[in-house]
Amino acid sequence: MALPSAVSSSSFIKSTPPYPSAFNPQSLHLPATYRSRNRRSCKLISFRCSSSSFSEKHHNVNPPKSDDLVELPLFPLPLVLFPGATIPLQIFEYRYRVMMQTLLQSDLRFGVVYSDAVSGSAAGIGCVGEIVKHERLVDDRFFLICKGQERFRVTDLVRTKPYLVAKVTWLEDRPSGEENLDELANEVEVLMKEVIRLSNRLNGKPEKEAQDLRKNQFPTPFSFFVGSTFEGAPMEQQALLELEDTAARLKRERETLRNTLNYLTAASAVKDVFPSP
């Protein structure tokens, strides 16, 4: 049996942070080529309804120490949650209403894993979502505001009913060696500002320079923030989430932003030659 369906596309709403600028840096819309880029670089697995079929894929790959294992409820969603990011969710499917009723009386934390709508597969690496605000709606539905916390790797499936519960280990970035992370983060911020400026120009908005996108964040949380802005490219976002090296993540984001900037520059030149009536 394939992964149990989580929610329909109408069951969650994209987050809309209160950025004052004309262009919202929380949603960088990448060129279409990046929406399917490097699909093999993120590890998608098919959850099954028996724990044995799941563990066969993971048991022999870097087996974690027993004292590192934690049980975590899983919520498959067609989006990627990053540490530090905030998302609103509307919960209406029965099993997830049961999950939320349990969580609101206990830990307030669950695992968000990206679920590909086409293949029916889910990622083996996800991010903890912590409920920071909730409202119970009619018919026991819930509206939640969740914030991303630690990343995790799924190691085994504990049960599937009434909702998915898995054993997970925590995932942290390894030291980046001799890389100058601050320099990399600053390069990425400069590219983001230029992408924002050109995007505003193409959309007929004032070319107001984005101010202080980094906001004194250390390189690692900033790299997660940048990844969260790549809206419309969930496979690329999943690949960024899975990287265990801040420098590698920032370099990949730098490459993506450079290519996006080239695309926007070309589009802007075409617009100058053939202005809209």
pLDDT tens readout for residues 153-183: 999 999 999 999 999 999 999 987 778 999 9
Look at residue 210 in the predicted model and tell me its pLDDT.
73
Q: What digits encode the pLDDT tens for the residues 10-29?
A: 222 233 232 222 223 445 65
Look at residue 188 in the predicted model and tell me its pLDDT.
97
Q: Measuring CA to CA, which residue among 261, 253, 262 is closest to residue 37?
A: 253
What are 248's two structure tokens? 């590698």
Taking a C-beta distance cutoff of 8 angstroms, is the pair 171, 244 a contact? yes
Q: Measuring CA to CA, which residue among 277, 237, 273, 276 is closest to residue 80?
A: 237
Look at residue 181 in the predicted model and tell me its pLDDT.
95
Domain ranges of the chain: 70-170, 181-273
Question: What distance in Å separates the CA atoms of residue 222 and residue 239, rounded to the nearest whole number?
Answer: 16
Q: What is the domain class of 70-170 according to CATH?
A: mainly beta
pTM greater than the 0.85 cutoff: no
Look at residue 246 in the predicted model and tell me its pLDDT.
96
What are 37's two structure tokens? 């880029």
Q: What are the residues whose beta carbons fall under 8 Å from the beta carbon of 236, sequence distance 6 or more?
A: 30, 34, 35, 37, 38, 230, 256
Q: What are the residues whose beta carbons fall under 8 Å from the beta carbon of 38, sequence distance 6 or more?
A: 235, 236, 239
By CB neighbour count within 10 A (0-12 exposed, 13-18 middle, 19+ buried), where does 268 fall? middle
Helix (H, G, I), strand (E, B) or coil at 210: coil
Q: How many CA atoms lie within 13 A of 277 on its CB side?
A: 0
Where the chain has pLDDT below 50, the residues are 1-26, 33-67
Look at residue 274 in the predicted model and tell me its pLDDT.
67
By CB neighbour count within 10 A (0-12 exposed, 13-18 middle, 19+ buried), where does 9 fall? exposed
Question: What distance in Å separates the CA atoms of residue 82 and residue 129, rounded to the nearest whole number?
Answer: 9
Look at residue 98 in the predicted model and tell me its pLDDT.
92
Look at residue 29 in the predicted model and tell me its pLDDT.
55
Question: What distance in Å separates the CA atoms of residue 193 and residue 50, rounded to the nearest whole number?
Answer: 48
Q: What digits encode the pLDDT tens for the residues 49-79?
A: 222 223 333 333 344 443 478 999 999 999 9
Helix (H, G, I), strand (E, B) or coil at 231: coil
Taking a C-beta distance cutoff of 8 angstroms, is the pair 12, 77 a contact? yes
Q: How many CA atoms lie within 13 A of 2 on its CB side?
A: 10
Look at residue 276 in the predicted model and tell me its pLDDT.
62
Q: How many CA atoms lie within 13 A of 183 on its CB side?
A: 4
Look at residue 178 in the predicted model and tell me its pLDDT.
76
Helix (H, G, I), strand (E, B) or coil at 53: helix
Look at residue 17 in the predicted model and tell me its pLDDT.
31
Look at residue 60 in the predicted model and tell me its pLDDT.
35
216: left (phi over 0), alpha (psi -120 to 50) or beta: left
Question: What distance in Å separates the CA atoms of residue 109 and residue 120, rounded to the nearest whole number?
Answer: 24
